[in-house]
Structure 1
Amino acid sequence: MALLPYPDPELLSPENRQIVDAMPLNLVRMLARLGPAFPAFFGLVKSINEIGGLSAQQRELIALRTSHKIGARYVWEQHVNIARQLGIMETEIDAIRKPATEPLGLFVEALLEPTSDPAPHLQSLKKMEGDQAVHEAILVTGIYFFLSRYSDVLQVDMDEGFLDDLQRRLSRS
């Protein structure tokens, strides 16, 4: 059970209510408690799909690596399901539990480790994927660090039927 109550949908602003109604996940519901900051934050999260420096699969691997390093069950479970929907193999998902060996994973791990210098890994990622991928990797890691800590600290409840809902949403796109 979450440590703080989810907001009463009737008390949300119309803009926040619209977002929660469109994506009624427990984490989204809890984030609606951010009041006027919620639509801007949600817009930022949605915008990472439009930047273009990383593929959807690479962004999912960042979400998984970040949530695994933080130990955030909610984000991990949700993004394992999304990763599978995007065609990421079980071996790739399982590999997240081990130290990274590829440039993107090494860079993300360095970003998450306060005593690590990400510069060498930044150069490797830049060489392989380009400048835009480096900027996007930093942003995506930061977003999923926040979402992982937020969901973990507040003990956001797991969503029932998430995979079925995700499949319906993806089939509409």
Structure 2
Amino acid sequence: MSISRTSPWKRASARRPERMAKLPYPDPAALPEENRKLLETLPPLNIFRMLSGAGASFPPFMALINAYLNHGALDAELRELAILRVGHLQASAYELHQHERVSRTIGMSAERIAAAGGPLPSPLYSEAENAALAFIDDQVKHVKADGALFDAAHKHVGDAGMQELILIVGIYMLVCRYLETMEIELEEKDIEGSGLEEIDTTMGR
């Protein structure tokens, strides 16, 4: 489950669709009005298509992810590295594909993106980034992270950043489990841009 600190991580393969999701994607016409209108304005991603069928959970879940993706306390690159680290730890190909794409659109180098699945500490990362990712590794493995690792990350990201980091870890463990259990397949073609602005515009209306 954990990423080796001495050898590169062998990541999950993010292949294009060779299977169908476990459940049929909901018919937009059959959705509750709030969910249908929300789905119509979000980026056309399969995860959102499937989540639209989750009833009353869909709108508040989208509001939650918008909060940290567009209005969060963490630096954008650190946030994406945290999400990618969880994706590697959970071996979720869809999650990795989408957030590697987001990472590229915010200007992160290919080398830094790839290192999110490698051993720590990484020379490509700052002290703050290495501390945050080490904390994530330990929290995913043990649930309650080591106090020294907590303190090292907290020193760099502060109170609000630390709370957000922990929430992101938990949310993406949930997201990865949802993606893998539901067998959500990659889209035939990537969306243009990050999709973050569309999410923010939709949730701010």
Q: Same fold judged by TM-score > 0.5?
A: yes
- In the alignment, the residues of structure 2 paired with residue 138 and residue 82 of structure 1 have an alpha-carbon distance, to the nearest angstrom, of 20
RMSD across aligned positions (CA): 2.1
Partner of 1:157: 185
Counterpart of 1:122 in 2: which secondary structure? helix
- In the alignment, the residues of structure 2 paired with residue 152 and residue 119 of structure 1 have an alpha-carbon distance, to the nearest angstrom, of 31
Give the alignment's TM-score, normalised by structure 2: 0.76
Letter in 2 for 1:10: A
Give the structure with the higher percent helix: 1
- State the identity as a percent: 31
Q: 2:146 aligned to 118, 138, 142, which one?
A: 118
Partner of 1:68: 88
Partner of 1:22: 41
Give the alignment's TM-score, normalised by structure 1: 0.90
After TM superposition, which residue ranges in structure 1, 4 or more long, deviate above 4 angstroms? 167-170
Asked if 1:137 is matched to 2:157, the reply is no
Q: Which has the higher contact order (CA 8 A, sep 6+)?
A: 2
- 1:1-173 aligned within 5 A: 1-23=20-42, 24-101=44-121, 102-114=130-142, 117-164=145-192, 166=194
Structure 2: segments with no counterpart, 5+ residues: 1-19, 122-129
Q: Is the 8 A contact 2:135 2:145 kept in 1?
A: no
Residue 28 and residue 119 in structure 1: after superposition, are their counterparts in 2 closer, same or farther (change >3 A)? same
Counterpart of 1:36 in 2: which secondary structure? helix
Q: Is the 8 A contact 2:70 2:196 kept in 1?
A: no
For this pair of structures, how many residues does the alignment match? 171
